[in-house]
Amino acid sequence: MNRKVRFIVILVIIAVIFSVIAFAVPFKHTAAFWVAYVAELIAIALQYPLFYHAFNGETTTSKVYGLPIARVGLAYLATQTILSLSILSLTFVHAFPNWVAVLLCAVVLGFALLGAFGTSIVKEQIEQVDSQARASADVMENLRTIAKSLPTLTADTELKSALNKLEEDFRFSDPVSNSATVSIENEIYTLVSTLQEHLTTGLATVEEINTIQMKLTQRNAICKTTK
């Protein structure tokens, strides 16, 4: 039994328990009774879409961002359950106005929906920023990976020493890119790819490596000035 099925079973059990309480206890079946009863079932049913949206993410981080939505859902269910039980109990009082039950349940539902939509918007914004941050670090991460492998492509002592220094420069460079660094990073990527090809064919030179280091220094300077 997967988690979705288990969650649905739990919701069904809650609905059954509430229904047993509602109909086993001799509450008066007034309009207020039915308003409270239906409102409770709505609160139980809404838990599934709320929890699904909260934890419907591909990464653990994304699911953590959904916790506030889940909390809103649980708070709504708890509040509505207390309110529904209170209204059911008050049905013993013949003069209890039905419109009050409708108003109270509608207000609780309204606040729950506002809370869910609000936290959902925040979740999506955080996920978008997180996605952009990961994407902005991908370029330098790829270059670091390539640079780390370059020293293994040559047996020349001078080239190997220069390549080790280049790998170190990439490792300690600012990992986050931005719109101002796109152009020079494309240049660096092209230069690194060419160097990688030249190393495999024995045509690589120290001057090529020095050119990449110079471009990398310029790129890091741009990062500092644009922060």
Task: Report in angstroms the alpha-carbon separations of 127 from 51, 131, 178, 206.
Answer: 17, 6, 18, 43
Closest by Cα among 88, 87, 79, 56 to 69:
56
pTM for the complete prediction? 0.58
Token representation of residue 160: 């190997």
Give the CB-side neighbour count of residue 25, counting CA atoms within 13 A: 13
Beta-carbon contacts of residue 195 (< 8 Å; ≥ 6 apart): 150, 204, 208, 209, 212
3-state secondary structure of 154: coil
Quote the mean pLDDT of the chain.
84
Residue 227 has pLDDT above 70, yes or no: no
Percent of the chain with pLDDT over 70: 86
For 94-114, write each residue's pLDDT tens digit.
767 888 899 999 999 999 888
Q: Which region among 73-77, 94-98, 101-105, 179-183 has the lowest average model confidence (pLDDT)?
A: 94-98
| DSSP tag of 37 | H
Which residues are CB-neighbours of 182 under 8 A, at least 6 positions away?
none
The whole-angstrom separation of Cα 94 and Cα 159 is 94
Burial 54-78 (b: 16+ CB within 10 A, else e): bbeeeeeebeebbebbbebbeebbe
